[in-house]
Chain A
Amino acid sequence: MSHPHEEVRHQSSPYATRIRAIEALLLEKGILTEAEVQDRISYMEARSPANGAKLAARAWVDPRFKERLLSDTKAAARELGIDASGPVEFVVLENTPKVHNLIVCTLCSCYPRAILGRPPDWYKSFDYRSRAVREPRVVMREFGFEPPEDVEVAVHDSTADLRYMVLPMQPSGTEHMSEEELADLVTRDALIGVNVPQTPTTRSG
């Protein structure tokens, strides 16, 4: 599971050292409490791509839920017990047979954190941020996905106050699967749009 570059986190980078110093100062001056910091960490750790997978799978099995997800993402998330409240607005972009959506933030690393948690390291990389807008089809190919030429690729650069998440298309041949099984097919990469959910090769039952 662990990637070589993740070890960097265990070292104290200048940024980490600076953040810890700022945190210590905020606590010392009474601007933040230790409990508030811990609450924020718990909030972020409780969020993961599994939330996005649940939303996508429900949208696949329930067209009316899908409409609500596309029109009012926060309310739809609340229906499934996912707390996406907060000042940031969410937009779910639906992939169709004609349009495939891809999300990037070229200015920093804006990401639907209140739903999916922290973004993957590559999403924050200069490489992804510069290439996803310039050559999205090449980037997707590197992730193992090649949209047909007659499918429009729409890149969404989250430059301002909205956060985007992709609703992938349900893979063919999965109509018999349960909502829980379908959710297992939805990866974080598919929710960003660099890949799509795959039809499982072996079927149970």
Chain B
Amino acid sequence: MTAFEPGDRVRVRPANKPGHVRTPGYLKGKTGWVESVLGEFRNPEDLAYGLSGVPERPLYKVAFRQADLWDGYEGPADDLLYADVYEQWLEQDQGGVA
């Protein structure tokens, strides 16, 4: 069971975590939606320190509207950006401002 399903609105946690992080800074606090569930993988943020990386963590392909990511994005409103984000970096979008 994964916490999110395709189509769910999600927000990338705006958290700061020391050490190895696999979520790009430019996505933190941004809202998008789950495009697909990619499976479960050993946690790279632990593997980086020689740990086992288990339990495996769900990984999602998350879609974002470019216009939601960047002020003054040069391009049509339909342009998208996809990133692979681990479940621990996602939270349910509470709605409100996109």
Q: On chain A, which size bracket covers the interface?
A: 20 to 34
Interface of chain A, helix or strand or loop or mixed? Answer: mixed
Alpha-carbon separation in the docked complex, A126 to B27 (Å): 17
The answer on a CB contact under 8 Å between A160 and B59 is yes
The answer on a CB contact under 8 Å between B41 and A106 is no
Alpha-carbon separation in the docked complex, A150 to B22 (Å): 32
- What 0/1 readout, one digit per residue, does chain A (44-78) give for beta carbons within 8 Å of chain B? 00000000000000000000000000000000000
Alpha-carbon separation in the docked complex, A156 to B86 (Å): 15
Task: Determine whether A22 belongs to the interface, using a CB cutoff of 8 Å to chain B.
Answer: no
Task: Determine whether A85 belongs to the interface, using a CB cutoff of 8 Å to chain B.
Answer: no
Alpha-carbon separation in the docked complex, A91 to B27 (Å): 22
The answer on a CB contact under 8 Å between A135 and B80 is no
Q: On chain B, which size bracket covers the interface?
A: 20 to 34
Chain B residue with the shortest CB-CB distance to A108: B22
The answer on a CB contact under 8 Å between A154 and B38 is no
Task: Determine whether A189 belongs to the interface, using a CB cutoff of 8 Å to chain B.
Answer: no
The answer on a CB contact under 8 Å between B86 and A160 is yes
Residues 147-196 of A contacting B (Cβ, < 8 Å): 149-150, 152-162
Q: Name the residue in A154, A157, A160, A161 with the highest tally of chain B Cβ atoms < 10 Å from its Cβ.
A: A160
Alpha-carbon separation in the docked complex, A157 to B69 (Å): 13
Task: Determine whether A107 belongs to the interface, using a CB cutoff of 8 Å to chain B.
Answer: yes
The answer on a CB contact under 8 Å between A160 and B81 is no
Alpha-carbon separation in the docked complex, A124 to B83 (Å): 18
Which residues of A approach B to under 8 Å, CB–CB? 89, 106-107, 133-138, 149-150, 152-162
Which residues of B approach A to under 8 Å, CB–CB? 22-24, 26, 38-39, 41, 44, 59, 66, 69-70, 73-76, 78-86
